[in-house]
Amino acid sequence: MNNSQSARGGLVWLWVTVLVIVLDQISKYFAAQNLGYHQPVNLFPSFNFTLAYNKGAAFSFLSDASGWQRWFFTVIALGVSVFIVLWMKKLTEKEKWLAIALSLILGGALGNVWDRIALGYVIDFIDVYYGDWHWPAFNIADSAITIGATMLVIEALFFKKPSDTSEIS
């Protein structure tokens, strides 16, 4: 590994973040252009596309608030994004799994922040259901955050970390 690679750490994986943002924004654009608001389009059993607008956070938390939540969630997501970038910069070349997980989370966070700033709400369109029970609608950004967070949990539970302490003889 050369000096420029080691100085960037996990930042070499930011292309994953960019990919998530691009796929998220393209899919939201097509959903907004081609779906009717809250009018499900059945694709498969238990899977619809349904256009929804989320003014809150996950599971529409605080979506009925007076509007302050838009900027509150934007500031939180931007703060977390800065933290993630700084964390990624400190990673080594061997910490690919962690870098990819953080890149997915960062891409999802920034994809939804884009919507909040530009539109005042997040576009959701993926509707998974069983019978009459529907999971809250979500999008590509939400999926990336979920996959990244799952990878973080797997990394914490199953990947061995090298010990920072020297062996006592």
Give the start-to-end residue ranges of the domains of the chain.
Answer: 43-157
The first and second tokens of residue 53, run together, are 């607008």
CA pair distance 56, 76, nearest whole angstrom: 13
pLDDT score recorded for residue 90: 96
For residue range 137-156, list pLDDT tens digits in order: 999 999 999 999 999 999 99
Enter the pTM of the model.
0.86
Q: What is the pLDDT of residues 31-88, one digit of tens each?
A: 999 999 999 999 999 999 999 998 766 655 555 555 666 778 789 999 999 999 999 9
Is residue 94 helix, strand or coil?
coil
Mind telling me the catalytic residues?
A: 124, 142
Distances (CA, A) of 9 to 2, 50, 75, 163, 169: 11, 39, 26, 20, 33
Cβ neighbours around 166 below 10 Å, total = 6
Residue 54's Cβ-count burial label (10 Å; 0-12, 13-18, 19+) is: buried
